[in-house]
Amino acid sequence: MSAWPQELASRVVRWQATHGRHRLPWQGTRDPYRVWLSETMLQQTQVSVVVGYYDRFLSRFPDVQSLAAAPLDDVLALWSGLGYYSRARNLHRCAQAVVEQHGGRFPATAAGLQALPGIGRSTAAAIAAFCWGERAAILDGNVRRVLARALAFDGDLAQAAQERQLWERATALLPSRRADMPAYTQGLMDLGATVCLARSPSCLLCPLESLCGARRQQAPERYPVRTRKLRRTSQALWLLRADDGAGAVWLEKRPTPGVWAGLYCLPVFDSRQALQQAVPQRLQLRDEAPLLHVLTHKYLHLHPVGATLERSSVRREQGGWFSAAQWPQLGLPAPVRRLLAG
């Protein structure tokens, strides 16, 4: 059993070399700015979506100085459609902290990185492992699943003490050589994303198959154990799609804090009645097909309502008329972008 940790690590490292992902745009660099940007984008978004955003973001902001100096609106506009916009706001704050407090250089340890805005333990460890080979464990959703299964770890991860325990087990499994850390870290992520899937994992393709506790029990899907299920509340919102009859739409900036803080959006109302009271009486309203948008903690039932208005009849704050040509430059929530395009 004492040889087990290094055996797991070396299998992951070997497997990564032959079966892992190698040609992603953020691989082959040790620039912490690039790695940090990619890891932040990848936190809640799939690789295939991130690729395009990552390249566009880097062309506009090639280094931490240019990002720190940019207006937040420009950052949000480039983030538009990726969702979870607190990531973009934190990215901007973090860039400013790196420039103002660290002379434009990222701290070169996981602990130093974790002290920056928006960088959690797992992201800090991933950056430190990729850039400097630091022996720090990651435990994002995919890796948690791989390790909980390999270890047949049956502690309830809804409990902080069990979660801490899994971090310790993950740390004990790290390769002893720093040079192996980038491939090991990437290999665990790749295994979680391509083989050790939440449902119907491909155990026969897995390099850990003969070591895996969950496999031995023939019950990979029993792990990880987590009793507290994510409960989403529901909220209905009415969105006024006001046009000027010539293709421009009224958009306004969302307040902070709240859903879509800082982004441009159609005016939002809690009820159809509230929407109706905000527009001139006897205005023809067009109810459009509702759509469902799922956030981490909420189901949003969105009810778009169209209306054509005189430009001068709109007197609301923090907004303006924007033509279709201007929409791509604005930070817009993904469902609003889809609505406008549709």
Q: How far is the CB of 63 from ligand ADE (least distance, A)?
A: 20
Q: Do 162 and 212 meet the contact criterion of CB atoms below 8 Å apart?
A: no
Residue 236 in contact with ligand ADE, rule: CB under 6 A: no
One character per residue 171-200, x = contact with ligand ADE (rule: CB under 6 A): ---------------x--x---x-------
Q: How far is the CB of 2 from ligand ADE (least distance, A)?
A: 30
Residue 137 in contact with ligand ADE, rule: CB under 6 A: no
Q: How far is the CB of 55 from ligand ADE (least distance, A)?
A: 15
Please give, one letter per residue, the 3-state secondary structure of the chain: CCCHHHHHHHHHHHHHHHHCCCCCCCCCCCCHHHHHHHHHHHCCCCHHHHHHHHHHHHHHCCCHHHHHHCCHHHHHHHHCCCCCCHHHHHHHHHHHHHHHHHCCCCCCCHHHHHCCCCCCHHHHHHHHHHHHCCCCCCCCHHHHHHHHHHCCCCCCCCCHHHHHHHHHHHHHCCCCCHHHHHHHHHHHHHHHHHCCCCCCCCHHHCCCCCCCHHHHCCCHHHCCCCCCCCCCEEEEEEEEEEECCCCCEEEEECCCCCCCCCCEECCEECCHHHHHHHCCCCCCCEECCCEEEECCCEEEEEEEEEEECCHHHCCCCCEEEECCCCHHHCCCCHHHHHHHHC
Q: How far is the CB of 42 from ligand ADE (least distance, A)?
A: 4
Size of the site for ligand ADE (CB under 6 A): 7
Q: How far is the CB of 130 from ligand ADE (least distance, A)?
A: 7
Select the residue whose beta carbon is closest to ligand ADE and give its number. 42
Q: Do 262 and 256 meet the contact criterion of CB atoms below 8 Å apart?
A: yes
By CB under 6 A, what part of segment 19-78 binds ligand ADE? 24, 39, 42, 47
Residue 119 in contact with ligand ADE, rule: CB under 6 A: no
- Please give the backbone phi and psi of residue 39, each rounded to the nearest 5 degrees, phi first: -65, -35
Residue closer to ligand ADE by CB (options 47, 70) is 47
Residue closer to ligand ADE by CB (options 183, 249) is 183
Give CA–CA dist 99/110, Å, rounded. 18
Residue closer to ligand ADE by CB (options 29, 235) is 29
Residue closer to ligand ADE by CB (options 42, 266) is 42
Pairing of strands 319-322, 249-253: antiparallel
- Determine how many CB atoms are found less than 10 A away from the CB of residue 323: 11
Residue closer to ligand ADE by CB (options 54, 269) is 54
Residue closer to ligand ADE by CB (options 97, 188) is 188
Q: Exposed, middle or buried, 131 (CB in 10 Å: 0-12/13-18/19+)?
A: buried
Q: How far is the CB of 59 from ligand ADE (least distance, A)?
A: 20
User: Which positions are annotated as active-site residues?
Assistant: 39
Q: How far is the CB of 82 from ligand ADE (least distance, A)?
A: 14
Residue closer to ligand ADE by CB (options 39, 180) is 39
Which parts of this chain interact with ligand ADE (CB under 6 A)?
A: 24, 39, 42, 47, 186, 189, 193
